Amino acid sequence: MNIAVIGAGYVGLTTAACLAEIGHGVVCADIDASKISQLNSGGIPFYEPHLLELVQKNRRSGLLRFTDRTEEAISNGSAIFICVGTPPLQNGEADMTFIERAARTICNEADSSRLVIEKSTVPVQTGRQLQKYFEIYRSRSSFRHDVVSNPEFLREGSAVEDFFHPDRIVVGCESEEAAKRMREIYRPLLDGTCLCPVHRSRHEGVPPPLVLTDINSAELIKHAANSFLAMKISFINMIADLCEAADADVEKVAQGLGLDRRIGPSFLRPGIGFGGFCFPKDLQAFVTIAAKFGCDFSLLKEVEQINLNRVERFVNRVKDELWVLRGKRIGVWGLSFKPETDDIRFAPALSIIRRFQQEGAEIQAYDPQAMTKAGSELHNVRFCENPYEAAAGAEALLALTEWKEFQEVDLSRVRSLMARPLLVDGRNMFCPEDIIARGFEYIGVGRRPLVRELTA
Catalytic residues: 278
- To ligand UGA, the closest distance from the beta carbon of 276 in angstroms equals 4
Q: Which is nearer to ligand UGA, 274 or 366 (CB)?
A: 274
* CB-nearer residue toward ligand UGA: 25 or 45: 45
The distance in angstroms from the start CA to the end CA of the chain is 76
Rank residues 371 and 418 by Cβ distance to ligand UGA and give the closer one.
371
User: Is 222 within 8 Å of 272 (Cβ atoms)?
Assistant: no
Beginning with the edge strand found earlier in the chain, give each strand of the sheet holding 115-118 in spatial order.
64-67, 25-29, 2-6, 79-82, 115-118, 146-149, 169-172, 210-213
In the three-class reduction of DSSP (H, G, I as helix; E, B as strand; rest coil), residue 442 is classed as strand
Q: At its nearest, how many Å lie between ligand UGA and the CB of residue 363?
A: 20
Secondary structure (3-state) at 440:
coil
Strands (E), 358-417: 362-366, 381-383, 396-399
Instruction: Output the smallest distance, CB 200 to ligand UGA, in A.
Output: 24
Residues with Cβ within 8 Å of 38's Cβ and at least 6 positions away in sequence, in order, are: 44, 45
Of 33 and 299, the one with the shorter C-beta distance to ligand UGA is 299
SS3 state of residue 337 = coil
Extract the runs of DSSP E, i.e. beta strands, from 186-339.
195-196, 201-202, 210-213, 329-333
Closest CA to 448 of 436, 456, 437: 436
- Least distance between ligand UGA and beta carbon 139 (Å): 32
If the CB atoms of residues 274 and 314 are measured against ligand UGA, the closer one turns out to be 274
β-strands 195-196, 201-202 pairing: antiparallel
Instruction: State the minimum distance, in angstroms, from the CB of residue 402 to ligand UGA.
Output: 8
Give the angle subtended at the CA of 271 by the CAs of 269 and 275, to the nearest 5°: 95
Which residues of the shown chain bind ligand UGA in the complex (CB under 6 A)? 121, 152-156, 226, 229, 233, 267-269, 271, 274-276, 278-279, 337-338
